[in-house]
Structure 1
């Protein structure tokens, strides 16, 4: 049942990527929406889930929060190391580093894989729990597909690479759900991963995507798209929790 439901997530992810590539003539609006979606996913979905799942504290601080900060700093350091390497090879320091986009998209694929594992584990607990998780996963996989394609292409990767990462992200929930037929992932490990991943996404949204969206088009429409993206995730989280 979980694998069948994950096919819905597969289609929803592809739909999100399709929308992202069809609106390239409104790039600032796409980036504004993607930034809002990512902020909403991190603050309203990933971080609360990570705090609940990881549980324990390390020196008075929840482990998920420590990893959240670690993910943010890791993304910051990785970007500067890649930029420094690019500059050493004579490239423009302001030029986008394709590896960052691929790394961010790979993180999205990892997140979708964890979604599938969570989906399979929920159906192992019971049908009611499985349906609740399925609603949340399918609803926000549209945003995942949108962000995966946008992140990959934003950093100068070819369209075929962006499409490859999109299809990998779409297939990940199906693979994750199928894997629960073989093993069960410890809840605390999942929580720690979500905390770290949330930090990476927050850095990309706050330091890269939103500044890029408002750089050439600091208009009201871009801001409204950002607010709409965050509001959409709030709506999804609220409906999934009912």
Structure 2
């Protein structure tokens, strides 16, 4: 059952990526919406789940929050290292680094793989739990596909590369759900991963996606798209409860 439901996530991911591709003439709106979706997913879904699953304290701080900060700093470090490497090869200071986009998209693929695993585990617990998780996964995988395509292409990668990363992101939940037929993921490990990934995703939204969205088009419509993205994730989380 979990694998069948994951096929719905596969289709929603592709649909999200297709939407990101079709509206290239309104790129600032795409980026504004992507930033809002990423912010909403981190603050309203990933971080609460991480705290619930891996909330025990390490030297006075919840483990999930330590990994959240670690993910943020890790994303910043990776981007700086790649930017320095690019500058050493004569690239302009403001040039985008394609490897950053590919690394971020790979993180999205890994996240989608964990979505599939979470879906499979939820159905092992019971049908009601599985249905609740399925609603959240399938709906927010639209945002995953949207963000994967946008992030990959934003950093100067070709449309072909963006499409390949989108397909990998769409396939990941199916593989993740199928893998739960072989093993069960410990809850604390899942929470730890979500915390780390949430930090990396927040960095990309706050330091890259949103500034780029408002750089050339500081329009009110862009801000509304960002707020709408957060509201959409809030609606998804509320319906899943």
**TM-score by structure 2 length?**
0.99
Indicate whether 1:31 and 2:25 are aligned: no
Indicate whether 1:7 and 2:18 are aligned: no
Per the TM alignment, residue 72 of structure 1 is displaced from its structure 2 partner at its CA by: 0.4
What is residue 102 of structure 2 aligned with on the other side? 102
- C-alpha distance in 2 between matches for 1:63 and 1:89: 39
What is residue 86 of structure 1 aligned with on the other side? 86
- C-alpha distance in 1 between matches for 2:48 and 2:25: 35
**Cα deviation digits, residues 53-109 of structure 1 (max 9, x gap):** 113210010000000000001111111111111111111121000011001001110
What is residue 56 of structure 1 aligned with on the other side? 56
Gaps of 5+ in 2: none
- C-alpha distance in 2 between matches for 1:14 and 1:127: 26
Indicate whether 1:182 and 2:200 are aligned: no
Per the TM alignment, residue 203 of structure 1 is displaced from its structure 2 partner at its CA by: 0.3
Per the TM alignment, residue 5 of structure 1 is displaced from its structure 2 partner at its CA by: 0.4
**Cα deviation digits, residues 176-205 of structure 1 (max 9, x gap):** 000000001111011000000000000000
What is residue 193 of structure 1 aligned with on the other side? 193
Root-mean-square deviation (CA), in Å?
0.5
What is residue 238 of structure 2 aligned with on the other side? 238
Displacement over 6 Å in runs of 4+: none
**Cα deviation digits, residues 108-153 of structure 1 (max 9, x gap):** 1011000000000010011111101000100100000000000000
1:147 aligns to what SS in structure 2? Answer: helix
Indicate whether 1:18 and 2:37 are aligned: no
1:182 aligns to what SS in structure 2? Answer: coil
1:78 aligns to what SS in structure 2? Answer: helix
**Cα deviation digits, residues 155-196 of structure 1 (max 9, x gap):** 000111100000000000000000000001111011000000
1:189 aligns to what SS in structure 2? Answer: helix
Equivalenced residue count is 241
1:211 aligns to what SS in structure 2? Answer: helix
What is residue 152 of structure 1 aligned with on the other side? 152
- C-alpha distance in 1 between matches for 2:193 and 2:128: 25
- C-alpha distance in 1 between matches for 2:85 and 2:203: 20
- C-alpha distance in 2 between matches for 1:25 and 1:81: 31
What is residue 126 of structure 2 aligned with on the other side? 126
- C-alpha distance in 2 between matches for 1:137 and 1:58: 30
